[in-house]
Amino acid sequence: MSAPVLVINSGSSSIKYQLVDGETLEASTSGLIERIGQAESILTHRHAGEKHQATAHLADHAAGLEAMVAAFEEHGTPLSEAGLIAVAHRVVHGGERFVQPVVVDDEVEQAIEELSALAPLHNPANLEGVRVARKLFPKLPQVAVFDTAFHATMPERAHLYAVPSAWREEHGVRRYGFHGTSHAYVSRKAAELLGRSPKEVNVIVAHLGNGASVSAVERGRSIDTSMGLTPLEGLVMGTRSGDIDPAIVFHMHRQTGASFADLDAALNKESGMLALTGQIDMRAVEAAAASGDRSAQIALEIYCYRIRKYIGSYIAALGGADAIAFTAGVGENSAEVRAGALGSLVALGVHLDEAANAAGGPVISTPQSPITVMVIPTNEEGEIASQTAALLRS
Ligand SMILES: Nc1ncnc2c1ncn2[C@@H]1O[C@H](COP(=O)(O)OP(=O)(O)O)[C@@H](O)[C@H]1O
Ligand SMILES: CC(=O)OP(=O)(O)O
Ligand SMILES: [Mg+2]
């Protein structure tokens, strides 16, 4: 590896990590630590085509990152001998200030902490990863790469909300958008698949994971995206409601006396597919729907209908699209969701090839389709490593 970067994606109860070459984007080692803070945590470490799994009690992110360091020592090359040029961190909210990757110092750490109010599910965990890694690897540059950065190009018509000016000017209320490294990487790959430069094409990216968002990418620049001030707006997600009438919050507060903290938790953690079906995982929802469960069938319809409305509106926003690309856990794996999301878009130039869709792509539209539909595996860690290597070169 010529520019090895350790990429860390700290979630609320998990840590994903990869050792990636910032030049070739090749990952030699990757891992996932799940159920941090619970009685038994699971560490899955992949190196040289082999999978090593272990369980342990990992009380917090510090313990999780120490277990990661130990796994590198046990399997393959210890991190201290890997020739790392940096540790790179996914940070979800960068606010208005961070529109490029930055090397983290005390002041940047403080700024990320202040942004936690805008991404309470994500930034605190990201920050924890940064803090522990700064202690573990004090000599290496720690770089933060922000989910929001790619969307900094959105025009005012897309990022301004029609709310009182003090909210906008004094409290940073605007659309920021998230999953930016994924939207950036996948929209570039879509242009590559079309055999064109990113600057020549308009692409709609549907990133459908646990969190989910759609973006409209005009000639390589994000011009709109479905997530807003926080990662709650837009699509129906695993546990998040996506778009609702904001008055529902006031109504429920008045009706039940629930606090704003309770309502925040209800919309972020107890809504979405979980609220509609009792399940978070799309595989379980699809299995229930296939076995005749009516609420799962309706939930799938709602999930797909919301995506379809966003895609239709982004075709309008872009004045026509060259490609639609599906990515992330659901987008890459569920032919049923892709078909459901595209149904009735024939009138807008989307002709799905059902056999190609069932086979998983990469191209899943017919050769005559005016808009090419694709399935493109995302690579957030590779994109983060590549942006980090570019920052350190400059
Ligand atoms: N074969 C599959 N069919 C349908 N959905 C799947 C499949 N594999 C994974 N998923 C969905 O992908 C989700 C995770 O996506 P991912 O992009 O890894 O999310 P995150 O990064 O937010 O954790 C799971 O919750 C599951 O719903
Ligand atoms: C921003 C966001 O929703 O991220 P994730 O999908 O990882 O939850
Ligand atoms: Mg994700």
104-113 residue pLDDT tens: 999 999 999 9
Q: Identify the DSSP state of 194.
A: H
Q: Mean pLDDT over residues 356-385, rounded?
A: 97
Write the pLDDT tens digit of every residue in 17-32.
999 998 898 999 999 9
Cβ contact 103:109 at 8 Å: no
Q: Mean pLDDT over residues 185-197, rounded?
A: 98
Q: Check pocket membership of 210 for ligand 2, CB cut-off 6 A.
A: yes
pLDDT at 201 over 90: yes
Q: pLDDT confidence of 68, banded at 50, 70, 90?
A: very high
The per-residue DSSP string of 248-303 comes to: HHHHHHHHH---HHHHHHHHHHS-HHHHHHS--SHHHHHHHHHTT-HHHHHHHHHH
pLDDT of residue 206: 98
With a pLDDT cut of 90, the percent of the chain lying above it is 91
Q: pLDDT confidence of 14, banded at 50, 70, 90?
A: confident
Q: Mean pLDDT over residues 196-213, rounded?
A: 97
- For the stretch 344-349, contacts whose Cβ atoms lie closer than 8 Å and that sit 24 or more positions apart, written own/partner, are 344/308, 345/308, 345/311, 345/312, 348/312, 348/315, 349/315, 349/320
pLDDT of residue 37: 87
Q: pLDDT confidence of 155, banded at 50, 70, 90?
A: very high
Q: Which ligand 2 atom sits nearest the alpha carbon of residue 9?
A: 7
Between CA 156 and CA 243 the distance in angstroms is 20
Q: How far is the CA of 158 from the centre of ligand 2 (A)?
A: 21
pLDDT at 12 over 80: no
Annotated catalytic residue, options 60, 147, 224, 243: 147
pLDDT of residue 177: 98
Write the pLDDT tens digit of every residue in 126-148.
999 999 999 989 999 999 999 99
pLDDT at 49 over 80: yes
Q: pLDDT confidence of 77, banded at 50, 70, 90?
A: confident
Inter-axis angle of helices 294-318 and 282-290, nearest 10: 120
Strands (E), the chain: 4-10, 15-21, 27-34, 41-47, 50-56, 86-91, 102-103, 142-146, 202-208, 212-218, 221-225, 323-327, 372-375
Reading the block at residue 109, the tokens are: 């750490």
Q: Does residue 212 sit in helix, strand or coil?
A: strand
Q: Mean pLDDT over residues 49-75, rounded?
A: 93
Q: Check pocket membership of 238 for ligand 2, CB cut-off 6 A.
A: no
pLDDT of residue 35: 87
pLDDT of residue 13: 79
pLDDT at 45 over 90: yes
Pocket of ligand 1 (CB under 6 A): 209-211, 238, 281-283, 328-330, 333-334
pLDDT at 1 over 80: no
Q: How far is the CA of 11 from the centre of ligand 3 (A)?
A: 9
Vertex 181: Cα angle to 26 and 144 (nearest 5): 90
Q: Identify the DSSP state of 167.
A: H
Compare 235 and 394 and report the one with higher pLDDT: 235
Is 147 considered catalytic here? yes
